[in-house]
């Protein structure tokens, strides 16, 4: 029997127009993206340990913020409940500059009246930006919340960056 080695675990912190971002990886996939809240990250004080997939994610994020990228190709791996994973899969299909409503996502996953559950799943997305949860608005284009970074101001910046109308 050949001994198994643990997958490479990485951390890379980078600056962005939204503030600092911490990228986490296991093996060949990004598993978490954290946007600083009030200037702080949960990894403050930990040394970076970049991996190839984290370097690739940092490059793609830099291109996105510079307006040269509209879709991410870096591999991500997320784990949640079956419902959360279904919602996250639908989020991945929302193109740059487009939005979906909470009800639309609920209908797409067979739970048309599960607005709160949809909102909870959207808010639990462990890799915001890479899985574009900021592209979800209320049916009247209202911003109802955002759990990454500094909340609604972070979402407003992202929507404006993509030219998405909102209120």
Residue 147 appears among annotated catalytic residues: no
In angstroms, rounded to a whole number, what is the distance separating the alpha carbons of residues 133 and 155?
9
In angstroms, rounded to a whole number, what is the distance separating the alpha carbons of residues 66 and 69?
8
Q: Which residues pair with 13 in a beta bridge?
A: 22
Secondary structure (DSSP) of 26-82? ETTEEEEEEE-BTTB-TTTTSPPB--HHHHHHHHHHHHHHTT--SS--S-B-----H
H/E stretch holding 12 reads: strand 9-14
Q: Which of 105, 133, 136, 158 is the catalytic position?
A: 133
In angstroms, rounded to a whole number, what is the distance separating the alpha carbons of residues 20 and 82?
31
- Catalytically active residues are 133
């Amino acid at each position: 029997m050949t001994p198994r080695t643990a997958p490479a675990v990485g951390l890379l912190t980078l600056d962005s127009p939204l503030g600092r971002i911490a990228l986490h990886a296991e093996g060949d996939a990004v598993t978490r993206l954290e946007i600083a809240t009030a200037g702080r990250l949960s990894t403050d004080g930990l040394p970076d340990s970049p991996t190839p997939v984290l370097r690739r994610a940092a490059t793609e994020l830099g291109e996105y913020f510079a307006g040269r990228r509209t879709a991410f190709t870096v591999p991500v791996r997320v784990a949640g409940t079956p419902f959360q994973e279904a919602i996250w899969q639908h989020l991945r299909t929302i193109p740059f500059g487009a939005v979906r409503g909470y009800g639309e996502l609920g209908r797409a996953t067979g739970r048309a009246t599960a607005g709160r559950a949809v909102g909870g799943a959207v808010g639990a997305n462990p890799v915001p930006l890479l899985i574009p949860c900021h592209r979800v608005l209320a049916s009247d284009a209202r911003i109802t919340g955002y759990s990454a970074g500094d909340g609604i101001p972070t979402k407003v910046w992202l929507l404006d960056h993509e030219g998405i109308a909102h209120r």
